[in-house]
Every structure is written in structure tokens, then in C-alpha cells.
Amino acid sequence: MTRTTRTAATRTPPVRTSPVRWLRRNAVVVAGTLALCYLMLPNVVVLVFSFNQPKGRFNYTWNHFSTDAWQHPCGVADMCGSLGLSLRIAVYSTIGATLLGTLTAFALARYRFRGRGATNMLIFLPMAMPEVVMGASLGTLFLNMRIRFGFWTILIAHVMFCLSFVVVAVKARLASMDPRLEEAAQDLYATPLQTFWRITLPLAAPGIAAGALLSFALSFDDYIITSFNAGSAVTFPMFVWGSAQRGTPVQVNVIGTAMFVLAVLLVVAGQFAGGRRRSARRTV
Amino acid sequence: MTAPRTDPPAAAPDDAAPGTGPDAAGAAPDAVRLTGLGKSYGSFTAVHPLDLAVPAGSFFALLGASGCGKTTTLRMIAGLEEPSTGTVALGGRDVTALPPYKRPVNTVFQHYALFPHLDVHENVAFGLRRRGVKGVKEQVAEMLELVQLGGLARRKPHQLSGGQQQRVAVARALINKPEVLLLDEPLGALDLKLRRQMQLELKRIQTEVGITFIHVTHDQEEAMTMADTVAVMNAGRVEQLGAPADLYENPGSTFVANFLGTSNLIEAEVTGTSGTDLTLVSAGQRLTLPAARCRTAVGPGGRVLAGVRPEKITLVHGDDAAAIPEGRNRVPGRITGSGFTGVATGYVVDSPVCPELEVVVPNVERDSRLVPGAPVVLHWNPAHTFGLDAAQDIDAGLDAGLDAGLEAEPAA
Amino acid sequence: MNPARRRLTPYLLLLAGVAWLLVFFVAPMVYQASTSVQTGSLDKGFRVTWHFATYWDALREYWPHFVRSLLYAGIATAACLAIGYPLAYMIAFRAGRWRNVVMVLVVAPFFTSFLIRTLAWETILADQGPVVRFLDAVHVLDVTSWLHVTQGHRVLATPLAVVCGLTYNFLPFMILPLYTSLERVDARLHEAAGDLYATALTTFRTVTFPLSLPGVVAGTLLTFIPASGDYINAELLGSTNQKMIGNVIQAQFLRVLDYPTAAALSFILMAAILAIVTVYIRRSGTEELV
């Protein structure tokens, strides 16, 4: 009580903010926060329902709390097998796409050559193509080449559609790099190879990491293109898709939540590293 | 001989062969010798073939507006740019074909180009490590002391102020004990006060280590403060080369006269000679110009530009005109503007000979009658007059000095 | 480095990546083009007969799916822009020290399988769920069913559910480019505009929005293109009446095994998207996207 009177006494006449004025000034923040809630809602639902013990086969309505699924994440037949396949494919296609994409990005960012425009177009097209078209086309080709569908066909497809995203990420990073840094290295007796190894690569690393991370997420998450090129192999998204018809096991929610948490931790770590680097680039 | 309009004005000073300098026959070879060095990009010539010799141990400045070819010249010396013609020799050895990492020169880059992922210590150690030199740690510590950065070895470049970054860049280059240190607008990113301070510090370091410095800048004051020799570049050519005081007192072209400080250029006609002087007339006013200070050979009837620096002129109120001693160049006029700068007051005077004569009067005893509108008489010692070829553009170098060469840019 | 080697370097760097795309992206497209004009059956095999009628037949039979796809994708893109812009703006200018946290929350859903998240919408929009019961109680569903975007007392298996799912799924693709271009806008420009008598709204209309236009264009493309080819949302959240062209292509390819029709449909979709995108980029005047 005394506190309020004192502050009222010392302060000059308080600025009265009507709720309407407050809302007008913060409308963007309110709308943005609502949008964020919309974005987060499904993840919250997935999290909550990972602790559900559904009545029937369908995990759509809340029954009662249980940690069964968290204790036995592999308690469902085939699920962890498909998860393993997805992870393996994601790792390999990330390596492949990052390698090829980085080389391509270097060529595009550092050299002027005939066919540069056409190459840029070729890189852009897969990103501007509906997945269903890409998946069906590649599937048709494999089918007619009598190539057996499975691990390898999925891997080829994933490298193909991840490649462009890596190129874009690395190219952007290289473009924002000061070319004088490489000249400075050469001026300080570094041979072209040493310059690349000690200056260019460390500085391009955040872009390469971003591209690799994106590749991993895209590959791990892909259903559409994979479904056209998998044959009898079952990746994790394909398992989820199949189970959606029969009733999804709670364990799917467990995996989803675990991946979300892992991703948040990863992105936080990446933000930390990237944030430090970014501020470095701004001042230099 | 009246100056016929045969030569384009820019080419005229070229004939004076700015390059070759003190002839190197005999004495120690020059630190840097450029022979016919030129660079063109397609049809655009960035640097016309030029000859230049920089004596060892000197502080040499390449001065010019941006786009004049000075940075390109520097980069060709460093090996970062391949010359279209000519050769680069360092200490008597032809290095034209060598890549940058095999040349005994180091560069302080514009905006420093410090490696953002390495700390100060590693930045400075970079060159030593690439050459496999022993005792890196001690040398780096010593060098950081020289540039007064002892305590900051473990900082990253972005944690340093502009002035500190600049010192790191200098240390990183100097530690390699290059035969020549190249500085590309090294002070451009600093504020005025810091720039002044770093100018003196760079000069100190240069005297201390005795390495040849080649300094590229668009700041004429900086070039004159620091360098022993200044080469003024314009449109890919060296307009004039010499010691700062010599360039200032005896500009060879309107570009140099306007770009280096301020010059009052008066169009005049030669009427005759008296002893070692030329007599001129401009708008009815008789002026005297020492024949030795006239850059162009003209006889009676020919036209010259008579130049005089603003600080050489004395300004008196029209009422006191009678007190002006004999034998001085005098011009009447009327004050149209004035500006107080602390040490001095600058006046703009409208006179029959030139609509905008600039005069700088030291603030010793201020005459309160000298206000805009007041009738005045300007007078100066004729020996301070210099003569230039009237066939040149009288305004050359004016906007280049003010604004970093926006005019030169579209060509590049 | 000698000049000849230097001229070759970019090609050597490109070799693997470009070859990969040529073999596994361009070649399949060309092959798909030839498939679309083949006739035959599974047992006897397919042969190129320049049978362009496949296109005509496909279009005649499935035009409602095309219209529906482009319509749903268009509405979802507009909704993404409406929802994503305030969020991107908030992150760029108003989030302060929360900026990184919010960015993490925007990017993180990317990493949870989007099938799982779409299935979560089934839970959220379930017939007896709190959301639907609330909407029903406040008579929103009456209005929406009068507009034919929902049916009766349910949201699932209606166009609203599909568009809602599409909007949700592609929202991050809108927010990220928007944020990237908004981040580059100097906040001092807002002050300068205010200083020059612009109200907050005028400032946005005349300064901020025009400067963010590259982000708007990139974001709408990144949303519209995948949304128009999507079939997951229609499959999981819609009924047979909300099938999009992606569902048809998938079914023709994987179940009916009518490859020429699937190929023809793919090419019609591609052509439609290309036409729309070209017109759009021309009109928005930002052709330097690539």
C-alpha cells in the first residue's frame, strides 16, 4: 500500500495507456505470438499424447497418463527398424549432398565461366519442382532401367533433392565472405591449398553446417519422394504413413517428441556458434 | 609560343617523365622498380604503362581519387593482380611472374582483412607459420609490443576497436620483415582524430624498422604528412611525383594544383618579360610571375594560368590600399563570404580576375571591417605565383578532392 | 596456377554435382516426357506412340483436382503470408533478446517428422475434440458450413481442414525468407519515415513492405510450389472430395500403374506452376531470385 503511494508521489503524472492504445502499439507482437502458438500447437499435442494410453488402436483421444511408450520406445514391431533405415539414409545422403553441394557452390561463387547461368538454373529447378513430380519421374526411370528399389534408390533420390539446398546455403555464405581475406592469406605466404584449408574452409563452415543440417532434416523427414523410390523398404515416415491407416502407436509420438527436443538442443547449439561468428563478420 | 591545343592536358605532365626518379645506375637497387607496368580490363585502361622507382627505406605515397588506378598499381606489386604489360622488380629481382605468396612484400589491406576466426596472436603469427619460421611465440609477442597491443593477444578481431584492428593488420604484415610494406588506405576506416594519431605512429614504426613503405591513399593531407615522396595519380597515370612541399609549392598541372590543397587559378595573358619575370595582365590587372615557375613556354600574347595558394595572399580593406608596398601582385575585389575555422578565417572574394578567389587569413589581428560586401584589395609576393598551361581544364581535380572520385567510377 | 588449369577448375568442381542432377533429375524428367506420350499396358509393355491424347484425357478427367490443388495452395499461401508476416516482423524488430529463442521455435518443427505433426492435427480437429466443440458452440461452424468449407458439425474431412494443414505445414518456408529480408531492413528507416510525417501504417506500406518484397516473393514461391503438389494433407485431413492432384498422380503411379497418365499429369502440373510462377515473378518485379 505504502509502496504504491510513494511511487505515485515521486513520479510525474503517470502516462495513462488505454488498452486500445496498448493493443495498437503491440498488435504485431500479439499477432506474432498467436502465429507462434499455431506453429507450436501440434508439437505440444504430440508431446502430450506421447504420455497417453489410448483405449483402442487410435491415439486420438486422451485416455489416461502412462509412461509405457517412453519406457519401451521400440515396443512396436518394425518401427525401430524403419527408424534405423531413415537415420542411415539421412546420414549418408547428408554426407553425399554436402560434399557435392559444397564443391558446386564453390564453383558458382568463385568462378566466372561459361554455363554458369545454366548451372544456377539447374540448381534452382529441383527446389521449384513439386516433390510428387520429382519422385514419380525418378521412380519411372528406375523402373524402366530395371533397377531394384531399396536402400540405394532412396539414397540416390535423397542426395538429388538435398543437393540444391546445400548449394544455396554454402553459396550464400561464400558470397558474404570478404574476398580480401583470401588475398591476405596469399600475401602472408599461404599457398592456394593452405589458403583454402586455413581460411576459406573455416569461414565457409557455418554455411556448410547449415546446408548439412538442412539436408539431414529434409532427408529424414521425406515421405513423398521416398514413397516412389523405396520399393519394399520402409523408412520411418513410411512407417508412420502406414500406421496412420491402422492406428498410430504411441511410440510414434515418443520418437517425434524426442526428435523435437534433440532438434531444439541442436539448433540452440548452432545458434550459439553461428551467433558468435555472425557478430564477428559484422564488425570485421 | 602560344600553347597550341595539341596535347590533351592529362598527357602533358607525362612528358616530364615522372617515373625514373633518382637514377639507380650504381647505387643500391631500388626497393621497387616498375617498368612499363600497366593494367587494362578489356577496353578500359585502369593503369597506363608507368615507370616508377621507389628507393629503399623511403616512405612513398600513391595519392589519387578512387578509381585513379593507385590500388590496382599496389595490387600488381603485391601480385594480387596480373599486369597487362610491364614488369615489377623488388630489390633488383624481377618478380612479375611470382604468385603473391612467393613475393617478399606484405600488405595492410583496406578494412584490414583480419581473419575473423583467428585471435590476434594467430593472425600475427599467420605469415611466420606458413614459412615454417622458428620462435613464433617470441616474435609475435615482440611485434605486439611494438604496436602496443601486448595484452590483447587472445582477443578475436571483432573484440577490438578500429584503431586496434589497424595495429594488428600492421603487425601481421610487418612481422614478416618484408622488403616492402604495402598499405592500401590503411586509415580510411578511422575517425579523424585517431587517423591523425595513427599517421604519426605509422611514421614512427617506419623510421624504427626502416622498411620501405608504399602507401595508397585518397587523403592528400595524409600523404603529405607521412610520405617522403608522393606520386599523384589521375585517370591511370602519374600526374606528378615529388616531395610533398615541392608538389604543393610547384604543382605541375591544374589537377595537382586543385587536388593538393586549394589553388586560386587566374587566367592571364603574357604581355612581356622584365628580367627573370614574366609580366601578365588579367582583366586589366598587372601581375608578375617568375619565369622559372612557369610550367609552360609562352611568349608575349600567350595565355597562362597564374596560380597562388590562399594562405600566401594578404587581404586589406579597400580604404587601406595605399599602404600596400610596391612590387606586389595586387587585385581588387569584394568579399562575398567568410568562414571562421579557429586558426584562420577563410574569405571568398569576387574580383575581376576570378569570381571566387579564396584567401586564408591567420587569426592574429582581426579586422572587423572585413565582412561580406566590403571592398578589399588582395596582394601577394610575386615569387609565390606559379604558372600553368592554360590549355588544361581549370577545374581538374576539384571534385576529385572533395568527393572520392564519383566521376572516375563509371569508367571502372 | 596456369591459365588453362584455372579455366578448368570450376568445371572440375561442378562435375559431380551437376552430373548427379543431370542423371537423376533432368534425365528422369526427359524420360517422363517420353512416358507421357506412350501407350501400352503393363503386360505388353509401353511404347512411344506420340499419343498426346493422354494429356487431353487426363485434363478432362482430373481438371477438378487441378483447380482444387491450385486453389488450396493459393489460399494456404495467402494464409501463410498473413500469419507469417507478423511473426517474421516480430522476430526481426520486436523480439529483442528473445529473437534467438523464437527463431529456434520456428525452425525446430522442421525436425519433427511432418507426418507426425499432420497426424496431430487429426487429434486437434477431432470431431469430439475441444476445438471443434468450441467452434460449434459459438456457431462458427454454422457459418463455415454455409460457405461450404466445412460440413455439419465436423472440421475433419473438409476443405478447411486440408487448407489448415497445408498452411501449417509450409508456414516455416514462408517465415524464414520473410525474416531474412526483414532483418536486412535498417530499423532506423522506421524512425526516418516517422520523422518525415509517416504514421506507423504508412511507414509499413511505403517503406518496410516494399523492402521486404524479395522475401515475400521467395516465401510465397517456397510455399505455393510444394503445397500445390502435396497430397499428405489431403489424404490425412480430407476426404475423397478434397483429393488434390498429388493424390491422383500418386495413385496412378503406385496403385493403378497407369504410367503415361501419371507422367502427363505431372507435366500438366509442372506447366501450370511454371506459368503461374513466371507471371507472378514478372508482376512482382523481382526477377533476381536465383
Residue B404 pLDDT greater than 70, yes or no: no
pLDDT for position A14: 58
Identity of the highest mean pLDDT range in B185-189, B246-250, C112-116: B246-250
Q: A240: which 3 cell numbers?
A: 508412420
Average pLDDT, integer, range B368-381: 93
C220-256 tens-digit pLDDT: 998 999 999 999 999 889 888 889 999 999 898 888 8
CB contacts of A36 in chain C (<8 Å) are 87, 102, 105-106
Residue C290 pLDDT greater than 80, yes or no: no
Cα atoms in the 13 Å half-sphere on the side-chain side of B379: 16
pLDDT bucket at A5, cuts 50 / 70 / 90: very low
pLDDT over 90 for what percent of chain A?
40
Residue B166 pLDDT greater than 70, yes or no: yes
ipTM, interface predicted TM-score of the complex: 0.84
Residue C125 pLDDT greater than 60, yes or no: yes
Dihedral angle, C-alpha B155, B157, B161, B163, nearest 10 °: 110
pLDDT over 70 for what percent of chain B?
90
Residue B243 pLDDT greater than 90, yes or no: yes
Average pLDDT, integer, range A146-160: 94
- Orientation angle between helical segments A131-144 and C213-229, nearest 10 degrees: 50
Instruction: Tell me if residue C253 falls in helix, strand or coil.
Output: helix
pLDDT bucket at B2, cuts 50 / 70 / 90: very low
Q: Over chain B, what is the mean pLDDT? A: 86
Please report, for residues A82, A139, C55, C262, the alpha-carbon distance to residue C257 in angstroms, rounded to integers and kept in the order given: 26, 12, 16, 8
Domain encompassing residue C215: 67-285
A121 touches chain C (CB under 8 A): yes
- Tracing cell 517503406 back to the chain, one arrives at C207
Which chains touch A (3+ CB pairs under 8 A)?
A: B, C
Residue A276 pLDDT greater than 60, yes or no: no
A54-85 tens-digit pLDDT: 877 777 777 788 888 888 888 787 888 999 99
Fold of the B32-104+178-253 domain: Rossmann fold (3.40.50)
Q: Report which secondary-structure segment, H or E, holds C180.
A: helix C159-183
Q: C185: which 3 cell numbers?
A: 531492413
Is C47 part of any domain? no
How many domains would you assign to chain C? 1
The closest alpha carbon to C24, from A130, A229, A170, belongs to A229
Q: Which residues are CB-contacts of C84 (< 8 A; sequence separation ≥ 6)?
A: A35, C171, C174, C175, C178, C219
- Within a 10 A sphere around the Cβ of B276, how many other Cβ atoms? 9
Spell out which chain A residues touch chain B, with contact meaning CB-CB distance below 8 angstroms.
Answer: 178, 180-181, 183-191, 194, 198-199, 202-203, 277, 279-284
B280-298 tens-digit pLDDT: 999 889 999 999 998 888 8
Torsion over CA: C45, C50, C51, C52 (sign): positive
Average pLDDT, integer, range A122-136: 89
CB contact (8 A) between residue A160 and residue C20? yes
SS3 percent helix, strand, coil of chain C, rounded to 5, is: 80, 5, 20
Task: Confirm if C127 and C87 have CB atoms less than 8 A apart.
Answer: no
What residues are paired with B288 via a beta bridge?
Answer: B279
pLDDT for position B215: 94
Sheet holding B354-362, edge to edge: B314-317, B375-380, B329-340, B344-351, B354-362
pLDDT bucket at C132, cuts 50 / 70 / 90: confident
How far is it, in rounded angstroms, from Cα B238 to Cα B18?
Answer: 7
pLDDT for position B121: 95
Residue C108 pLDDT greater than 80, yes or no: no
Is C31 part of any domain? no
pLDDT for position C18: 95
Q: Over chain A, what is the mean pLDDT? A: 85
The closest alpha carbon to A270, from A213, A220, A219, A215, belongs to A213
pLDDT bucket at B9, cuts 50 / 70 / 90: very low
Output the domain CATH number for residue C115: 1.10.3720.10
How far is it, in rounded angstroms, from Cα C177 to Cα C180?
Answer: 5
pLDDT over 90 for what percent of chain B?
60
pLDDT bucket at C285, cuts 50 / 70 / 90: low
How far is it, in rounded angstroms, from Cα A222 to Cα A214?
Answer: 12
Phi, psi of C119 (to 5 degrees): -60, -35
pTM: 0.78
Is C193 part of any domain? yes
Is C71 part of any domain? yes
CB contact (8 A) between residue C22 and residue A28? no
The closest alpha carbon to C190, from C178, C198, C181, belongs to C198
Domain with CATH 2.40.50.100 in chain B: 255-395
Torsion over CA: B379, B385, B391, B392 (sign): negative
CB contact (8 A) between residue C270 and residue A129? yes
For A229, name the nearest residue in chain C, comparing CA atoms only: C254
CA B199 distance to own-chain centroid: 14
Identity of the highest mean pLDDT range in A6-15, B76-85, C100-109: B76-85
pLDDT bucket at A15, cuts 50 / 70 / 90: low
The closest alpha carbon to A38, from C117, B63, B70, belongs to C117
Q: Over chain C, what is the mean pLDDT? A: 86
Residue B409 exposed, middle or buried by CB count within 10 Å (0-12, 13-18, 19+): exposed
A186 touches chain C (CB under 8 A): no
Of the partner residues A188, A203, A281, the one whose CB lies closest to the CB of residue B106: A188
* R_g of chain B computed on alpha carbons: 24
How far is it, in rounded angstroms, from Cα B93 to Cα B230?
Answer: 24
What residues are paired with B272 via a beta bridge?
Answer: B279
The closest alpha carbon to B285, from B214, B204, B190, B353, belongs to B353
Is C149 part of any domain? yes
Fold of the B255-395 domain: OB fold (Dihydrolipoamide Acetyltransferase, E2P) (2.40.50)
